[in-house]
């Protein structure tokens, strides 16, 4: 709340959690996962280009 108190309980806000827990990266946005998705996207792009070249040759 604007006055710094909990609207339900009336107490002061305890603030942010200690440490850097909110910056923990996991799952979809880890460097490994991003690299894997980028690699798969590159492979799909190459396959589509190859299929397009095969269609053009016919």
* 33 in any annotated domain: yes
Check residue 56 and give its pLDDT.
81
* 48 in any annotated domain: yes
* 9 in any annotated domain: no
pLDDT tens-place string over residues 13-47:
666 667 777 676 678 888 899 999 999 999 999 99
* 38 in any annotated domain: yes
Number of domains in the chain: 1
Q: Domain of residue 52: give its range.
A: 24-57
Is pLDDT at 2 greater than 80 in this prediction?
Answer: no
* 40 in any annotated domain: yes
* 41 in any annotated domain: yes
CA dist 32 and 28 (Å) reads: 9
Do residues 12 and 5 touch, judged by C-beta distance below 8 A?
yes
């Amino acid at each position: 709340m604007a006055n710094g108190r909990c609207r339900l309980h009336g107490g002061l806000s305890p603030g942010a959690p200690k440490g850097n827990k909110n910056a923990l990266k996991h799952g979809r946005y880890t460097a490994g996962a991003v690299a894997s998705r980028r690699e798969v996207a590159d492979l799909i792009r190459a396959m589509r280009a190859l299929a397009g070249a095969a269609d053009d040759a016919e």
